[in-house]
C-alpha cells in the first residue's frame, strides 16, 4: 500500500484510504516510539512494528535495527548484477521484513526517495507454531489413511477427528491471541468452527466434516453403541482431510 496522487476518482479514493492507514500507523505505533527515543518524528527511512503473539508490549524497530528487502518497479533497465540505488526505483510494490519472532504479526513502513511511504502488514499471529501443528496433522492424516487401508474403521475415525482438531488449532491462533490457551477444550473448538463457518470465514463443508467426526468419535473409540458407519463412509471422511489441510495451510502460510 503506497501513498500517492492521482486524478482518477477511484484512485483518489484508494489514495485517501492509504493515507489514512499510514496516518493511523504513525499515530499509534511510530510517533510514540520516536517520542520515547527523543528523536525527530519521521526521521527514519524504514520501520518495523512487531506485534506479539500473546497480549504484551509491541516492539518498534527503526532503520538498521532490522533487515528488509523490497519488490519494486525500476525506473530504468537494470542488468543482472548491476548495482541498484534509490534513484533507480520508481515505485515499491511490496516489503519483505525479517521478523524476529515467527509467531508475531507485523507492520512495515518504508519511505521512497520522493517522500511517499509504502506500508505492508500481516496481522496474523502464531504462524510459526501453526507450521509445527500442520506437520503433526500430516502424521495423524497418514495414520488415518493407513487405518482405512487396514480396514480399522474405529481407529481411522479417532485419528481423523484428532487431525481435524489440529487444523482448527492452526486457524484459531491466527488472530485470537488467547485461542491456544484452550487447546484442551473440545467445546471451545466446537464453538469456534461453528461460529466461523456461520460467518463465512471457514468453508461450511469443513465444519460439517468436523461435526460428523465429532458425532461418531465417542462410539468409535469406546465401542459404546453399534457402528453408525461403514468402510466407504470412513474412507470418504478421511479423504476429505486432504482438502481441509490444503485450505488450512493456505491460511497460515507466511507472506514472502
For residue 172 the three cell numbers come to 484459531
Three-state SS string across 122-178, please? ECCCCHHHHHHHHHHHHHHHHHHHHHHHCCCHHHHHHHHHHHHHHHHHHHHCCCCCC
Show which of 79, 100, 122 is a domain's final residue: 122
Is residue 239 predicted with pLDDT exceeding 70?
A: yes
Residues 100 and 172 in one domain: no
- Of 65, 88, 122, the residue at which a domain comes to its end is 122
Q: Report the pLDDT value the prediction gives residue 6, as an integer from 0 to 100.
A: 43
Model confidence band, residue 105 (pLDDT cutoffs 50, 70, 90): very high
142 and 55 within one domain: no
In a domain, 4, yes or no: no
- The domain boundary residue, chosen from 122, 137, 157: 122
Whether residue 181 is contained in a domain is answered as: yes
Q: Are 238 and 148 in the same domain? A: yes
| Phi, psi dihedrals of residue 56, rounded to the nearest 5° | 175, -175
Cell reading at 8: 482518477
Q: Is the pTM of this model over 0.95?
A: no
Average pLDDT value for the chain:
88
Q: Give domain status of residue 15, yes or no.
A: yes
Q: Is 1 within a domain?
A: no
| pLDDT digits 0-9 by tens, 18-75 | 788 889 999 999 999 999 999 998 899 999 999 998 777 899 999 999 999 988 888 8
Tell me which of 166 and 226 has the higher pLDDT: 166
Q: What is the rounded CA–CA span in Å between residue 191 and residue 204?
A: 14
Between residues 185 and 251, the one the model is more confident about: 251
Among 79-93, 100-114, 126-140, 220-234, top mean pLDDT goes to 126-140
Share of the chain above pLDDT 90, in %: 63
Question: Has residue 48 been placed in a domain?
Answer: yes
Would you call 222 helix, strand, or coil by DSSP? helix
pLDDT of amino acid 226: 65
Kindly state the percentage of the chain with pLDDT values over 70. 89
**Minimal CA–CA distance to 63: which of 30, 35, 102, 25?**
30
Average pLDDT of span 160-188: 80
pLDDT at 181: 53
Residue 211: inside a domain, yes or no?
yes
At 241, which CATH number? 1.20.120.330
Same domain? For 99 and 193 the reply is: no
pLDDT for position 10: 53
Clarify whether residues 160 and 117 are in a common domain: no
If asked whether residues 108 and 84 sit together in one domain, one would say yes
Q: Do 44 and 98 sit in the same domain of this protein?
A: yes
Assess whether 116 and 140 both reside in one domain.
Answer: no
Shared-domain flag, residues 138 and 237: yes
Q: Are residues 42 and 19 in the same domain?
A: yes
> Is 210 within 8 Å of 168 (Cβ atoms)?
yes
Whose cell is 493515507? That residue is 19
pLDDT above 80: residue 143: yes
**How buried is 74 (Cβ within 10 angstroms: 0-12 exposed, 13-18 middle, 19+ buried)?**
exposed
Does residue 234 surpass a pLDDT of 70?
yes
> Does residue 144 share a domain with residue 166?
yes
What pLDDT score does 177 carry?
54
Looking at the domain assignment, is residue 256 inside a domain? Answer: no
Residue 2 lies in a domain: no
Domain count, the chain: 2
- Residue 195 domain boundaries: 129-251
Quick one: pLDDT at residue 7? 44
Same domain, 36 and 114: yes
Amino acid at each position: 500500500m503506497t501513498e500517492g496522487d492521482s486524478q482518477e476518482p477511484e484512485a483518489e479514493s484508494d489514495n485517501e484510504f492509504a493515507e489514512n492507514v499510514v496516518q493511523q500507523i504513525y499515530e499509534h505505533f511510530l510517533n510514540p516510539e520516536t517520542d520515547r527515543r527523543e528523536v525527530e518524528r519521521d526521521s527514519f527511512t524504514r520501520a518495523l512494528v512487531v506485534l506479539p503473539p500473546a497480549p504484551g508490549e509491541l516492539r518498534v524497530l527503526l532503520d538498521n535495527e532490522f533487515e528488509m528487502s523490497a519488490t519494486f518497479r525500476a525506473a530504468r533497465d537494470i542488468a543482472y548484477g548491476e548495482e541498484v540505488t534509490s534513484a533507480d526505483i520508481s515505485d515499491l510494490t511490496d516489503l519483505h521484513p525479517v521478523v524476529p519472532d515467527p509467531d508475531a504479526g507485523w507492520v512495515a513502513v518504508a519511505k521512497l526517495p520522493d517522500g511517499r511511504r509504502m506500508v505492508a502488514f500481516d496481522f496474523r499471529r502464531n504462524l510459526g507454531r501453526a507450521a509445527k501443528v500442520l506437520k503433526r496433522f500430516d502424521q495423524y492424516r497418514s495414520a488415518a489413511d493407513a487405518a482405512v487401508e487396514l480396514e480399522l474403521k474405529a481407529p481411522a475415525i479417532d485419528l481423523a477427528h484428532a487431525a481435524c482438531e489440529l487444523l482448527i488449532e492452526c486457524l484459531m491462533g491466527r488472530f485470537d491471541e488467547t485461542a491456544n490457551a484452550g487447546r484442551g477444550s473440545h467445546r471451545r473448538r466446537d464453538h469456534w468452527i461453528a461460529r466461523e463457518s456461520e460467518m463465512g470465514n471457514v468453508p461450511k463443508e469443513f465444519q460439517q466434516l468436523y461435526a460428523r467426526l465429532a458425532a461418531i468419535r465417542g462410539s468409535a473409540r469406546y465401542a459404546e453403541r453399534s457402528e453408525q458407519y461403514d468402510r466407504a463412509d470412513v474412507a470418504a471422511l478421511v479423504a476429505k482431510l486432504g482438502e481441509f489441510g490444503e485450505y488450512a495451510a493456505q491460511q497460515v502460510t507466511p507472506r514472502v
